[in-house]
Amino acid sequence: MLRELRKIDAFLHDSEHTYEAMMFEYETVWPHLRDRGVLLSDDIHWNGAFYDFARNKHPTRWTTFDGLGAIMAIK
């Protein structure tokens, strides 16, 4: 689907909440986010995947609230 769409505005992770599954989804979708696109993830407190991903990407804008994390892709 990502190959067909090429670029997307937003992505919400709310499926399997293992570290591996979350990192796989983040890494897969990140290159397809448009400039100022948003990666959202639910239940980020279940493991450290969201925080590790954010530290690795060094985003300018990101936030967390009530178990939800958001990272804006500024490219």
Residue indicated by tokens 């500024």: 74
Does 2 have pLDDT greater than 90? no
- The tokens for 41 are 């993830």
The C-alpha atoms of residue 52 and residue 19 are separated, in whole angstroms, by 10
**pTM of the complete model beyond 0.85:** yes
Query: In angstroms, what CA-CA distances link 68 with 1, 13, 45, 46?
Result: 24, 10, 8, 11
* Number of domains making up the chain: 1
Kindly give the interhelix angle for 49-57 and 19-29, rounded to the nearest 10 degrees. Answer: 30
Which tens digit of pLDDT belongs to each residue from 11-59? 999 999 999 999 999 999 999 999 999 999 999 999 999 999 999 999 9
> In the numeric block, which tokens belong to residue 67?
């178990």
Domain extent for 31? 2-73
